[in-house]
Structure 1
Amino acid sequence: MTETMDGIEGAESTGAAEDAQRTRTYAWNDPLASFAEGAGMSGVEYLRAMAEGRVPKPPISETLGFDGISDVAEGRVIFTLTPAEHHYNPIGSVHGGVYATLLDSACGCAVQSLLPAGDYYTSLDLSVKFLRGMTKDTGQVQCIGTVTHMGRRTALAEARIVDGNGKLYATATSTCMIFRAGEK
């Protein structure tokens, strides 16, 4: 055992490759420019443009390393993610915040897919149920978001994360507040 700089004892490094520090770099586009580009589009048009690469993904997608949007329909979106080490928490599995961000994104974008140009939403709440852990060995997962109720002022959506075999990893429900163009 050796003493580390912060005074906590730990195992001495073996110098093996697995002890090497990893790095990750990424870039993103100006989110306000992307938003302005999509301002004249309906929600489903904007999300399809994003899925096709005609509009840049939001910075959070790059920060967390989402693979992207793989499918968009009115009231339904599918995000994909391939879990990696940079998603890990201190116990060696994907952090719950990654799950929550993916689920929140799918719920919100499912609502967005039903909005006309000029309308927008924000999440009011998110309730997540974690069912099993993901690791870098899980393989690509899908997060499927669907709208269960669309009202004038609020919408309810749900999302679920599944692997390639259909195994369920987490579910969520979200209430979104809708802001209509021209209304204060």
Structure 2
Amino acid sequence: MPRHVDHDARRRRIADAVCDLIADRGIEGVTLRDVAARAEVSMGAVQRTFPTGDLMLGFALDHIIAKTQERGARRIDTSGSKGSAKTLLSITLQEMSLAGSGQRAEATVWLTFTAAAAVREDFRAVLREHHEKSGKLLAWLIDYGKNAGEIRPDLNTAGETRALRTFVDGITQHFALGLVTTRSAHRLIDDHLRGWWTSREAKTRS
């Protein structure tokens, strides 16, 4: 009988191998032979899964975004926050920053793709879409916090959303360079948000 192949699992496995190689050597160091060896599959399996190198790299970038979203969703589900805007925002920003324990390689890969996007429209399109979606999520969370009475109603949602994206990108860079630890990166996020809370919310969190 032919062996059943989980194609989604194979794609993720290859994407993980690609990311590992990028973290070690940069995008230029990603070769078909090395990807196959790192993923422990044949070169033919890699080529059947991704007919071109560009498709393979593009999926690896999408894979990082998907992993970040899944990790954030799991943390929120198990946080016991009961809809707290503070917890939702804190976890979301921590995951967006890629500054979690053991995530330095992932942050490095993300920055590598970001740098490459300056000259590659395919990467730029993916990153722009990601920034647009994450911006909408942050704006929704801010407005949610306002409606719940946790966040000051005078806070400018659009302006703070743009500032948050820039702020988080800076943390990713500093984390990848080893300038901040996971603990200090997460503390920076919480310190940034501290001025947003209403007097009532600040008292309940003190």
Using structure 1 for the length normalisation, give the TM-score.
0.31
Using structure 2 for the length normalisation, give the TM-score.
0.29
Identify, as 1 or 2, the structure richer in strand.
1
Identify, as 1 or 2, the structure richer in helix.
2
